[in-house]
Structure 1
Amino acid sequence: MALLSVYSTRGNYRFEVAEGRSVREALDLTDVRVRAACGGTGVCGACVIRLIGGDVSSPTPAEYLKLGPEQRTAGHRLACQLRIKGDAAIRLERPARFSPWKSIPPENLQPLVGCHPDVQSQPLGVAVDLGTTHIRIAVLDRQQGRCIATRYGRNPQGDFGADVLNRLEAARACPKRAAELAKLARGAIVRAVRDILARDIGEVTPMLAEIGQVLIVGNTAMLALLTGHGSDLLLDPANWQQSIDCRPHDLAAWRAHWPFPHAEILPVQPIGGFVGSDLLADVRATGLSDGPGGALLLDIGTNTEIALWDGKILHVTSVAGGPAFEGTGIRHGMPAEPGAIFRIRQEAASYRCETIAGEPAKGFCGSGLVDAVALLLDQGVLKPSGRFAAPVATEGYRFDPTNGRSAITSADIDAFQRAKAATAAAMNQLLAQAGMGWGEVHRLCVCGAFGRTLDIEHAQSVGLLPSLPHGAIELHADAGLAGCEQALLSLQGADYFNELIAKTRLVNLSRVADYEDRYIEQLRLRPMVSGSTVLL
């Protein structure tokens, strides 16, 4: 990784950047973006910056065409053409307007497979993973099988509460509130698409008419709130064992609210209860059901969804783990965004906090919280009960003495314990329901909130993950979006998942008598237990 120093009218920043990445690509992952309108080809010439110094690539033909001799002599470069080879510094005089939307890191994306040259009209497609906390978007050229660009950002429905039940209750209590929740999610998706069209194609309104299909996967609650159908059913536990119809009452009227005049807009129907179509997308993206039995998948988040493939049947369930894994519900929690502590390492008598993009620490995201709890447990600062071994300050235990936002509190640890216990208990219960044991599990795919940053050993030491060999545990970032992209390029739309749905068996944990006992069994901070046996 190289260090990129950015001096701008908005402030000065230092970012860790993968070598070989362009300055534009690097800054698109942060809150400081360059102006752009051509997708990084150098045609628009809008992303001019000044190189102060450092190890970077030589000027490209596009820069010779867009920048005059005097500009080049003064150090001006095009951010989309300037690639980082080592530490470097730039000056950004005219940054783009602030946007809540950031590009998804390229290393989190899966390669696209397939193209459809026969798609003659409206070649663009939009894949959407509608999550409780975040929304992820990809705009694809279906003719060429090419990803034009991606974005992720906060789901603005979070203003109504991090917990999905709060949002569902708000929708049921007031029809106007229900309409507002739907509008918030729809508006966020549209703004993300417009941001891609503006920056990566250079035209917005004409290109909106070139979108032929919008495919949306998500958990059941988010799909119900988006379409205005199914929220009431979800609030009745009697319906948690059955399919929830999240299709709009009047599809034509619902589509009229979207500014895509020729697009077929398809919310992929959930499996049932709180198990959504995002889990189907995860399974497709990881190929979980393509191999032998004994494959398990976790989609960790506020609503954690779990799938177990036994070779013939896909057993699925969900559990309300709480928002701790998403970086909310803890004092200094935050999503996995620039400034989030995503990794903590012990160095002699102190700790080193690593943050996303190398920015000053602003709080913990999910993987950072796992590291924090595991390290405190290992050092004896925490007891297996989750209590501090000795009193700590009211603000909590600081990992960086100079930064109050690096502190973790007793309440944070309690929230973490409850979330990890619910997840661990659900995995054990699903195995029991399928008549299987951990000895038969050869593969575990971890998707969702942690992306690729989870420390597997730390997650095992506190009991969040089972003690399987490391080669058996895979971290998949943005699998839900990848599965949605596959469906979009298949031209089958929502039908892409039908064969998988036919193999699915839904388990409602609220009706399983043993689950509560398993939950209590998993509360302590220790390697995961199965019955009275600690899994080592």
Structure 2
Amino acid sequence: MKDIRIIAGRDIRPDAAASLALAGYGKDEASQAQGKALFAELERPVRQVVRPKAALAFADDGQGRMGLYAVLTIGAAVSRQSAMYVARKEYSEAVLFSAMADSCLFSFERQLGEAIRGLCREKGCGIASRHEAGVDCGFSLQEQAVQAVEAGRTLGVTLTEHHMLQPEKSMAILYELTDDPDVFHIEHDCRRCGNASCALRKEETQEEYIRCPKGMRISRWLRQQGYMDSFPCGETGRCGKCRVRVAEGTVAASPEDRELFTPADLAAGWRLACKAVPSEDVQIVIPKGNRGVLAVLGQDGDAHEADAGHSYGLAVDIGTTTLALSLVDTTTGRTVHTITAANSQRAFGADVVSRIQAAKGGKGPQLRKAVCHDLQQMFHQMWDTYPQAKERCLKAAVAGNTTMLHLLMGWDCGGLGSWPFYPVSLGGDWYLWKDVFGKSDGFSSQPVALLPSISTYVGADITAGIWACGLMKPEETTLLIDLGTNGEMVLRSEAGLLTTATAAGPALEGGSLQWGTASVSGAICAVTMNGVRPKVRTIDSAPPVGICGTGVIEALAGLVETGLVDTTGKLKEPYFRRGFPLATTLDCEQIVMTQKDIREVQLAKSAIRAGIETLLYEERMTCEDIDRVYVAGGFGYYLQPAKAAAIGLLPPQLVYKTAAAGNTSLAGAAAVLADEAVLDDMKNICRHADEVILANNDFFQSAYIEYMNF
């Protein structure tokens, strides 16, 4: 017998402010006074006829996923009473009475929260998101929900011929499930709602107030509720990115708080979420700039039509910061569409070393769950856009660095973090869909290729880049650079392929900087100097929220060129202590480039530059011998080579030889889908590529120190 839970509401009361807003009363004093008087008159009649009742049941959502369906009603008597007012031509009473009934329905849904949480505990699941018919999905949801909970039998709720619920004051909801019981996103989200004219719509404000429970680390609570998912330092308290302000209640200051914040900041309630464990329920404020870090990256590239008669595959690039997914027409070899999203593993640290340490510390299953959930969401998004391609999707191919592929597969990362490095596998094989991504949407036994890696720190993303850029052709001497946290690079010469990787860290992607952020709306992406005054450009021309990788390079180049930073990397006064101001956020905070930030960039850029010089030294070559330089990844699209040369990241001789190569990792995965023989070509690349280990290379150590200066 189907498990359907019937729940009755308790002491449901209409909310005065919500009722008056729904009924269209103005905010002026006279309108409010008139509305409140009528509200007081109608409150008793409303409570007398409201009969709140709900039915809940777990069922398939029609796409191969389990969801929790709920149908709520406050009974038919409400509509009859409202109709009676209309019959008497008491229109003001009818309108407000109906609005008060709506308010009761909304209050009833909120009251159901604890019952739903209990149901989820029984099933060992959580709530990923809430969907409501007519709000963020179609009215077909109402038919599905009525069938799932047998609403006619359990509640007396039926569907009209136009698929509307009867009684009128009823609603149907689908709660999308997640296998993480700590995630519980049960509230209506106005940001996802298409009803822009709703009287109860909550617009985004400069600050967001959130209630946090006692006894739980605030960072954990924020991550579970979907408010904050980026902790670049792995919640060690070093980066200062998870700043929040305690607006109500008290939280003791940690040693890390006292190191980062001034006494005035501490007195104002500023704390690091990753170190804050309140001893009482508190209300906190998340700065707008912190929320900008969390924005999901938008769609990428031009979309094309999908031919229902063709076969398809999914190409996946798992980056440390960003995930990319392409739908590939394997019949024609053309990429139909590409979408990108942030990698939720950022919560465990901004770089691969942090994530290796987290995995070794027992968080490997959580890391795998995070990236698999991200990918499943992207798959669903792709199928929503191209439903005709879903049934014809026959395979997938995945590229990424060696650590990312280990975390995806749930492999032991113990051999990746220290010498001698020994991965569980370097890929290059085919696996079953369910063993890579987990079962979903009818996908289980489809083949998935993991592209091959060259070594522990020269991953499959670089193998794919070598193939995509044609580096196996001997006609040119070519340098491929992937500017990420690892700083991988490949030199192709007559002698063959020589590769290396250097631990550049997340500075060039903004990860370890005080105001660093991903490439999200509002991130400063370009900086020009007018004397000592900066002029900034942000992504989407949105209000500034932080500074991303290209903005970091251009800002520092400007400071070097104007003499505000000397050759050793020291900021001149009066900026040495407080940082150089670039822009102001909506919270009236200054986005600055600090002395510590500059040191972080120095470490990263000297590692990249020394790596380039080491490859040239090993092959007895100079920059003049290089015909072409490719910069891979999204970073390369916007990087100005002259600015990179100005801070010493690139040799000046290579500026006019440098071109953006795009996401070559994704391109390589797409090529494997179009022609499986490409996978053998990539294995051949791995067999013939030599690697320079920089950790014990004397020339690299010397060059690293030399290129620290500007």
TM-score, scaled relative to structure 1:
0.72
- Which of these residues, 318, 326, 331, is aligned with residue 509 of structure 2? 326
Tell me if 1:265 matches 2:412. Answer: no
Shift of residue 334 of structure 1?
A: 1.0
- Which of these residues, 296, 300, 307, is aligned with residue 100 of structure 1? 296
Q: What is the CA RMSD across the aligned residues, in angstroms? A: 3.1
- Show CA shifts across 1:338-368 (max 9, x none): 2111111234663221111111111111111
Distance in 2, matches of 1:102 and 1:149, equals: 12
Tell me if 1:192 matches 2:378. Answer: yes
Q: Which amino acid aligns with 1:127?
A: A
Counterpart in 1 of 2:579? 396
Shift of residue 431 of structure 1?
A: 1.3
Distance in 2, matches of 1:158 and 1:143, equals: 36
Distance in 2, matches of 1:392 and 1:335, equals: 25
Distance in 2, matches of 1:441 and 1:391, equals: 42
Contact 1:294 1:311 in 2 (8 A): yes
Counterpart in 2 of 1:144? 332
- Which of these residues, 401, 412, 416, is aligned with residue 234 of structure 1? 416
Counterpart in 1 of 2:696? 511
The residue matched to 2:698 in structure 1 has which SS?
Answer: coil
Distance in 2, matches of 1:314 and 1:261, equals: 37
Counterpart in 2 of 1:220? 402
* Structure 2, unpaired ranges of 5+: 1-134, 138-193, 198-293
Counterpart in 2 of 1:254? 435
The residue matched to 1:302 in structure 2 has which SS?
Answer: coil
Higher helix share: 2
Counterpart in 2 of 1:169? 357
Contact 1:211 1:262 in 2 (8 A): no
Distance in 2, matches of 1:153 and 1:435, equals: 41
The residue matched to 1:431 in structure 2 has which SS?
Answer: helix
Counterpart in 1 of 2:637? 452
Distance in 2, matches of 1:291 and 1:277, equals: 21
Contact 2:432 2:447 in 1 (8 A): no
- Which of these residues, 292, 301, 317, is aligned with residue 500 of structure 2? 317
Shift of residue 382 of structure 1?
A: 0.8
1:450-529 mapped onto 2 (5 Å cutoff): 450-468=635-653, 470-492=655-677, 494-525=679-710
Contact 1:234 1:273 in 2 (8 A): yes
- Show CA shifts across 1:316-345 (max 9, x none): 111110001112110111112221111112
Contact 2:451 2:669 in 1 (8 A): no
Contact 1:228 1:248 in 2 (8 A): no
Counterpart in 2 of 1:10? none
Shift of residue 144 of structure 1?
A: 3.4
Provide closer, same or farther for how the CA distance between residues 332 and 312 of structure 1 changes in structure 2, counting only shifts above 3 A: same
Distance in 2, matches of 1:252 and 1:125, equals: 12
Aligned residues: 420
- Which of these residues, 458, 462, 467, is aligned with residue 284 of structure 1? 467
Contact 1:323 1:329 in 2 (8 A): yes
TM-score, scaled relative to structure 2:
0.55
Provide closer, same or farther for how the CA distance between residues 469 and 422 of structure 1 changes in structure 2, counting only shifts above 3 A: closer
Q: Which has the higher contact order (CA 8 A, sep 6+)?
A: 1
The residue matched to 2:652 in structure 1 has which SS?
Answer: coil
1:68-83 mapped onto 2 (5 Å cutoff): none
- Show CA shifts across 1:152-181 (max 9, x none): 11111111111212211221222xx21221
Distance in 2, matches of 1:340 and 1:256, equals: 32
Contact 1:243 1:270 in 2 (8 A): no
Q: Which amino acid aligns with 1:180?
A: Q
Counterpart in 2 of 1:298? 481
Q: Which amino acid aligns with 1:283?
A: I
Contact 2:507 2:600 in 1 (8 A): yes
The residue matched to 1:289 in structure 2 has which SS?
Answer: coil
* Structure 1, unpaired ranges of 5+: 1-34, 38-91, 526-536
- Show CA shifts across 1:348-406 (max 9, x none): 66322111111111111111101100101111111111111213275421123676453
Instruction: Kindly name which structure, 1 or 2, has the bigger radius of gyration based on alpha carbons.
Output: 2
Contact 1:363 1:406 in 2 (8 A): yes
Distance in 1, matches of 2:552 and 2:657, equals: 23
Provide closer, same or farther for how the CA distance between residues 192 and 231 of structure 1 changes in structure 2, counting only shifts above 3 A: same
Q: Which is further off, 424-433 or 396-405?
A: 396-405
Q: Which is further off, 337-346 or 486-495?
A: 486-495
Provide closer, same or farther for how the CA distance between residues 145 and 102 of structure 1 changes in structure 2, counting only shifts above 3 A: same
Aligned-residue sequence identity (percent) comes to 26
Distance in 2, matches of 1:302 and 1:469, equals: 22
Q: Which amino acid aligns with 2:419?
A: P
The residue matched to 2:526 in structure 1 has which SS?
Answer: strand
Tell me if 1:369 matches 2:552. Answer: yes
Contact 2:603 2:708 in 1 (8 A): yes
Counterpart in 1 of 2:57? none
Provide closer, same or farther for how the CA distance between residues 36 and 248 of structure 1 changes in structure 2, counting only shifts above 3 A: farther
Q: Which amino acid aligns with 1:373?
A: L
Counterpart in 2 of 1:158? 346
